[in-house]
Amino acid sequence: MRIPRSLFCGGLFIAVMLGLSACTTKRTASGERIYFSGTFAYDRKLRTLDLTVQQAKDRVADYLRAHRADSGPVFIGDHMVIVGDCFVFSPPRKAGVSLMGYYVDGHTGEVRERREGYVTLPVGRK
């Protein structure tokens, strides 16, 4: 039996795309899915949330002003991932993405602090 070249190439293309998709999918230790900025999965997830990145960042700034005694500058951190339904703002890392930082629920706007470690960047970012 001979497989047509176009069918073989099409199947190979689909296999590679599914493989790259898997490379951009990671989970936290508790099983929550991590969506990396700059990926199609992140863009799809962002459309399901009620807040924008800027609104989430503003919630963190309000949270810090309310919970800090001094009125100095506020360091929020970078936004590189969504974990579950939460925007994550964390200190920058030279390699990978820190999961330690401020988590803002993308639906309710609730802000929490979490200390989770870090995760490496995915291979197939767009």
What ranges do the domains of the chain cover? 5-119
Distance from chain centroid for Cα 102: 13
This prediction has a pTM of: 0.74
Sheet containing 86-90: order of strands: 26-27, 33-36, 78-83, 86-90, 101-105, 111-114
Lowest-confidence region among 59-68, 78-87, 106-115: 59-68
Does residue 22 surpass a pLDDT of 60? no
Mean pLDDT (the chain, rounded): 81
Tokens found for residue 46? 């962002």
Count of other CB atoms within 10 angstroms of residue 110: 12
- Per-residue confidence (pLDDT) for residue 14, from 0 to 100: 47
Does residue 92 surpass a pLDDT of 70? yes
Coil, strand or helix at 41: helix
- Per-residue confidence (pLDDT) for residue 30, from 0 to 100: 85
- The residue-averaged pLDDT of 22-34 equals 78
Pairwise pLDDT comparison (44 vs 71), residue with the higher score: 44
- Per-residue confidence (pLDDT) for residue 124, from 0 to 100: 53
